[in-house]
Structure 1
C-alpha cells in the first residue's frame, strides 16, 4: 500500500531501461526502499541488470522481467509474474519509440511498429493491469503520453496519432477504475533530453528526466488524472488546439 505521505511500497516499470522510468524509480527509492520490478526487452538485459543493481544499492528489492511490447501473447504472463510476489502500488508504463515520420506514413512496417509499440501494447497492458488492480482495490498507473497526441502536426503525426490513441484510452480508464479505488495519471511531457531524442534539436521548455520524474511522482501522489511537464505546456497546448486549421498548417513544426 502507498503510505501516509504518498510513498509506494512496490513499483512495476514497463520499459525498465527508459531514462525517465529509471530516474523515477531512483527518486522513489530515495524516499524509502521498496520492491521494484523492472521489465524490458531481452536485448536490453545488460542495461536492465545494471539498473537493477544500482537500485539495489538503495536497499530496495529489485527483480527483472523480459518484456517485449511487440509480443502481446506474452504480456499476460509478464503481468502475472510482476504481481506474483504481492500487490503493485504503482505501475509506470514508459516504453515507446519516436520513429521516422516520413517512413511512418510511407512504409507499412514502420507505421505498424509505431502503432504496435506506442498504442496496441499499452492498451492491452492497460486491460491486464485494470483487472489486477480492481481485485487489489488500490493502486496507481502512470502512463507516458505526449502533447504530440493532442493535435496532428506535419512533422510527427504518425507518432502523435499513436500517443493520441494511448492518451484517450488511459484518460477513459481513469473514469472506469475510479470506483475501484484505482488512480490513473496520464503524463504529457514536452521534449525530454533522453536517448530517445538524442541528436534532435530541443525546443523551448525542454525537460530533463529528473524534472519529468519529479512531475510523475507528484502527480501520482496527489492522484492527478493528467500531468504536463512543465505545467506551462498545458496552456501552450490549449492555445495550439484552438488555432484555426489554415493557420496551424503554416506553423513551422
Structure 2
C-alpha cells in the first residue's frame, strides 16, 4: 500500500499547533516521514520534540475562515514537499456551551471553523490526492459527533457534520488511490480541552497518534481512540432519548 506508515515521506498538518495533530506528525516522522508542513494561522514553529527528530519542516499561514485561500494553501504545501502522502486535518475550536448560548454569534463563528472550514480545505486536499493517485486525508472527528449531547451540542453538531462529510468524501474517493481515515477520539486532555471536565475512557495525544498510525498501516476507514469507545457508542447510540438526556458526560 503506497500510503502505509512505512512509506509515508511527507505530512501536511492543517492546524499546526494542535497537540493531537503534532503527536500524529511526530509518530509518522518516527516511522520514516522526512518532510513536514505545519499550517496554522500566523504560521507555526516545530516544537522541540519534533525538531529534535530533524525532519525538513516548513510553515504556512493558514486561516480556516478564509475559504478562498484553501486551494492555494494545499498547492503551496505540495510545492514545498512534492506529493502529499498524509494530510492531517486537526484544526478546530472547543468552546463553552453556556457561553455559546449567551452569545449566538460566537457559536456561529466557531461552528463555521469546526465545519465549513473543513469542507473547504478537505475538498481542496481531496482534489490534490486524486490528481496524485495516492495519499490519505486523516480527519480528526470526535465521539462528540456520534450522538450529540446536551452539554456540548454546538460543538458536537459541527463534529457530526464533519464526520458525515468525511465519510461521504471517503466514498467519493473510492477507487482513485486516495482515501480518508476518520479518527474518533474521546476526551483528550490538552490545552484546548483544559476547561472541560474529564470524561470516562480518556486518551492521550500519543494514544490517538498510535491509533492513526495503526489505521494507516491496516487501511482502516475509521479508528476510535481508545478502541473501547466503538462498542460503547454502538450501545449508546441506541439508548432511549430520556436516558441519553440524563447523561452528564
- After TM superposition, the score normalised by the length of structure 2 is 0.94
Residue 126 (structure 1) aligns with? 122
- The corresponding residue for 2:89 is 93
Partner of 1:207, secondary structure, is coil
Q: 1:70 touches 1:116 (CA, 8 Å); kept in 2?
A: yes
Aligned to 2:36: 36
- Report the aligned-residue RMSD: 1.7
Counterpart-to-counterpart distance in 2, 1:57 and 1:243: 47
Question: Does 2:43 correspond to 1:77?
Answer: no
Q: How does 1:51-200 map to 2 (within 5 A)?
A: 51=47, 54-85=49-80, 86-200=82-196
Corresponding residue for residue 203 of structure 2: 207
Q: Distance in 2 between matches of 1:88 and 1:69?
A: 19
Q: Is the 8 A contact 1:2 1:9 kept in 2?
A: no
Q: Write the deviation string for residues 55-79 of structure 1: whole angstroms up to 9, x where unpaired.
A: 3432311100010111112212111
Distance 1:247 1:50 in 2: 45
Which ranges of 4 or more aligned residues in structure 1 deviate by more than 6 Å?
none
Q: Which residue of 2 aligns with 1:221?
A: 217
Structure with bigger RCO (C-alpha 8 Å, 6+ apart)? 2
8 Å contact 2:140–2:182 — kept in the other structure?
A: yes
Q: For structure 2, list consecutive stretches of 5 or more residues without a partner in the other structure.
A: none
The number of equivalent residue pairs is 248
Provide structure 1 residue ranges, at least 5 long, that are not aligned to the other structure: none
2:4 & 2:107 partners in 1: Cα distance? 44
Q: Secondary structure of the residue that 2:201 maps to in structure 1?
A: coil
